[in-house]
Amino acid sequence: MTRIFETPLYPYERSADQDAEAPVRHPVIVVGAGPIGLAAAIDLAQQDIPVVVLDDNDKVSFGSRAICFAKRPLEILDRLGCGEAMVEKGVTWNTGKVFFDERKVYEFNLLPEDGHKNPAFINLQQYHFEKFLVDRVFDLQAQGKLIEIRGNSRVTAVDAEDSHVSLTVETPDGPYRIEADWLIACDGAGSPIRAMMGLDFVGRVFEDNFLIADVVMDADFPTERWFWFDPPFNRGQSALLHKQPDGVWRIDLQLGWDIDKEKEKLPENVIPRLKAMLGPDIRFELEWVSIYTFQCRRMEKFRHGRVLFAGDSAHQVSPFGARGANSGLQDTDNLIWKLKLVMGGLAPESLLDTYDMERIHGADENILNSSRSTDFITPKSEMSRIFRNAVLDLSEHHAFARPLVNSGRLSVPCTYDGSPLNGPDCATMPARTRPGSPAPDAPVSGNSNEWLLGKLGNSFQILAIDVETPPSVCVGGICADRVTLSTEDNPALRERYLGEAEGAVYLMRPDQHVAARWDHWNDEAVRRAIETATGRNVSGLAGGLR
């Protein structure tokens, strides 16, 4: 049986572009068919923007990579038409246990808030994740959308001009040239595009190595996240055990800095380590073993004229907190609607600079969280180890110390506070739905299993809750249609969107973020907020967030 990561999904086929006299120009080219490039392409195709994806191989991701996907990305994937299949396949978990030395010091329950369609997290192998995205691409093709993945097509040169970008693509039939009005570079942490354009990627390398193994075993460990600090089977280091679908388990073993990577990877060295961890009687089979060094870094700017960087090409974090793919999906969620408006002449090009501002804000938050987790897991000095161990010892006895234990702060979306796209706020409403925040989900009514986020997204919208409004408002070619809801028998909606207010009017962005809100209808104010949220109010665009 060939496994999914061994199966060519989009094998190389010769394209008509290779036989054209002059390089063919496409509206958008995406480089890289990883999770982020695929999400970008699906979003574009859903918006009827033709897109070509170039990837240097023809398969899903190889090796042990992302497993943990958080609620906000799952909501984005719902909008992209593939969230449900992923949740169904994925493993849902809520309980985490923390061990120190030979004992369990405490356990926690994520206690997800009620009234959301999606769970707080699922675990799903990255190769499954990408396969669902590729399936969605094929669905869209079947519906006649102009979306194409070209396998075994490696970009080897890039020329970014003011008016377009031109690329050289290497294929089994030799190279050809192709052009794009806009290029989205989702070519991963080692981004050849970034290197070819001579752009920076600065940050911090953590001097540590982690052995990451995916093992198939028939064990009845519960569906929980287990994290060990300084366990007997990996003295002075940490370890993680986490369940994935199909009886696959993710094991992370911290190895320290001065090791021989090639030697540590050999089965004769890996297997005894795993036996010591899992117990002598557990039978398992190795799916993958890799050794990683982690880094936290980002580009200084994600937009370079007509080239837009998204995902790992733009920023990289250590995996503690599962913020890599999770944040990359938020990049394209933020980017695609802006690009569509700019391409359609409905917004100034400077709207794309707000992609840069908003997502750099997101990347910095992720890098901060991820660095703090890594510093806790890998103490950098004698004193930081003393404090780390003090926190762990106290956590066994006293609740106050548990929030200080940091084995990864799991990914949450950021709020674009201070974004130039934000319009008016209303002080009596809850802070969690202030302008710039991602709309929290809620049931549509007290007794339905329809969800608010299923009604939002892809265009500007007016969310009218217990307030009369016109059915739609249009300004300069952009229309916001109304979604009407009532808080009767719907306490979750009231708590999340009204707070003290009697009723609410929310202007929602196409990425389901709040642009502005009021407690009454004001036609003029809503129009002005649409202009602001589309960057037409140019004077507002100077500087970064806050």
Partner 1 sequence: MSGLNLDPNLAKADDFYESLLAAHEGLTKAESDAFNARLILVLANHVGDEGVLSQALEAARLSRDETSS
Tell me the residue number closest to ligand FAD, measured at CB: 34
Site for partner 1 in 364-383 (CB under 8 A): 383
Nearer to partner 1, 108 or 521 (CB): 108
Asked whether 216 and 287 are in contact (CB, 8 A), the reply is yes
398 binds, among partner 1, ligand FAD, none (CB under 5 to 8 A by kind): partner 1
Q: With respect to ligand FAD, which residue has the nearer C-beta, 312 or 441?
A: 312
Adjacent-strand bridge partners of 121: 70
- Which residue's entry shows tokens 């809620």? 442
User: With CB cut-offs between 5 and 8 Å by kind, which of ligand FAD, partner 1, none does residue 400 bind?
Assistant: partner 1
- Between the alpha carbon of residue 101 and those of residues 76, 176, 242, the distances in Å are 40, 58, 19
H helix intervals, 152-302:
192-196, 261-264, 267-278
Instruction: Determine the Cα–Cα distance for residues 122 and 72; give it in Å rounded to an integer.
Output: 11
Question: How far, in Å, CA of 515 to CA of 505, rounded?
Answer: 11
Q: How far apart are CA 331 and CA 302, in angstroms?
A: 10
How far apart CA 509 and CA 221 sit, in angstroms, is 43
Contact flags string 106-145 toward partner 1, x per CB under 8 A: ----------------------------------------
The amino acid that residue 5 corresponds to is F
Q: What are phi and psi of 481, to 5 degrees?
A: -90, 155
Pairing of strands 303-304, 307-309: antiparallel
Interface residues with ligand FAD (CB under 6 A)?
Answer: 31-37, 54-57, 61, 64-68, 126, 154-155, 186-188, 192, 212, 292, 311-312, 319, 322, 324-326, 328
Q: Of residues 157, 217, 286, 404, which one binds partner 1 by CB under 8 A?
A: 404
Q: Closest distance between partner 1 and the C-beta of residue 519, in Å?
A: 31
406 contact, one of partner 1, ligand FAD, none, CB 5-8 Å limit per kind: none
Out of ligand FAD, partner 1, none, what residue 427 binds, judged by CB under 5 to 8 A for its kind, is none
Task: Give the nearest distance from C-beta 390 to partner 1 in angstroms.
Answer: 4
The nearer residue to ligand FAD, 31 or 49, going by C-beta atoms, is 31
Report the distance separating Cα 13 and Cα 92, nearest Å.
38
Of 264 and 396, which has the nearer Cβ to ligand FAD?
264
Nearer to ligand FAD by C-beta: 119 or 319? Answer: 319
Which of 110, 219, 346, 401 touches partner 1 by CB under 8 A? 401
Q: Which helix (H) or strand (E) holds 508?
A: strand 504-508
- Does 266 interact with partner 1 (rule: CB under 8 A)? no
Binding-site member from 394, 475, 479, 525 for partner 1 (CB under 8 A): 394
Task: Give least dist CB 54 to ligand FAD, A.
Answer: 5
Residue 483 binding: pick among partner 1, ligand FAD, none (C-beta 5-8 Å cut-off by kind): none
Q: Which stretch binds partner 1 (CB under 8 A): 85-93, 237-245, 253-261, 395-403?
A: 395-403
Judged by beta carbon, residue 157 or residue 394, the one nearer partner 1 is 394
Q: Is 194 exposed, middle or buried (0-12, 13-18, 19+ CB in 10 A)?
A: buried
Q: Kindly identify the residues of this chain, within the stretch 473-532, that bind partner 1 according to CB under 8 A.
A: none
Q: What are phi and psi of 164, to 5 degrees?
A: -170, 180
d(C-alpha 541, C-alpha 544), whole Å: 8
**Residue 399 CB, nearest approach to partner 1 (Å):** 10
The answer to the question of residue 396 lying near partner 1 (CB under 8 A) is no
**Residue 404 interacting partner from partner 1, ligand FAD, none (CB closer than 5 to 8 Å by kind):** partner 1
What span, in angstroms and rounded, lies between the C-alpha atoms of 546 and 365?
14
Which of 320, 288, 245 is CA-nearest to residue 86? Answer: 245
Residues paired with residue 215 on neighbouring β-strands, in sequence order: 249, 286
> What residue 152 binds from partner 1, ligand FAD, none (CB within 5 to 8 A, per partner kind)?
none
> Minimal distance in Å, beta carbon 379 to partner 1?
12
Minimum distance from CB of 388 to partner 1 (Å)?
9
For partner 1, give the closer residue by CB, 164 or 402: 402
User: Between 240 and 492, whose beta carbon lies closer to ligand FAD?
Assistant: 240
Alpha helices in 143-266, H assignment, sequence order: 192-196, 261-264
Binding at 278: pick from partner 1, ligand FAD, none (beta carbon under 5-8 Å per type): none
Q: How far apart are the C-alpha atoms of 189 and 317, rounded to whole Å?
A: 10
Q: How far is the CB of 335 from ligand FAD (least distance, A)?
A: 13
Are 107 and 228 in contact by the 8 Å Cβ rule? The answer is no
The Cα angle at residue 73 between residues 70 and 75, in degrees rounded to 5: 105
* Residue 488 CB neighbour total at 10 angstroms: 11
Neighbours of 173 (CB within 10 A): 12
Which residue from 398, 417, 446, 474 is in contact with partner 1, where contact means CB under 8 A? 398
* Residue type present at position 193: I
Task: List the one residue from 94, 95, 168, 389 that touches partner 1 (CB under 8 A).
Answer: 389
HSE on the CB side for 83, CA within 13 Å? Answer: 19
Burial class (CB in 10 A: 0-12, 13-18, 19+), 248: buried
Residue 119 CB, shortest distance to ligand FAD, in Å, is 15
Residues making contact with partner 1 (CB under 8 A): 383, 386-387, 389-391, 393-394, 398, 400-401, 404
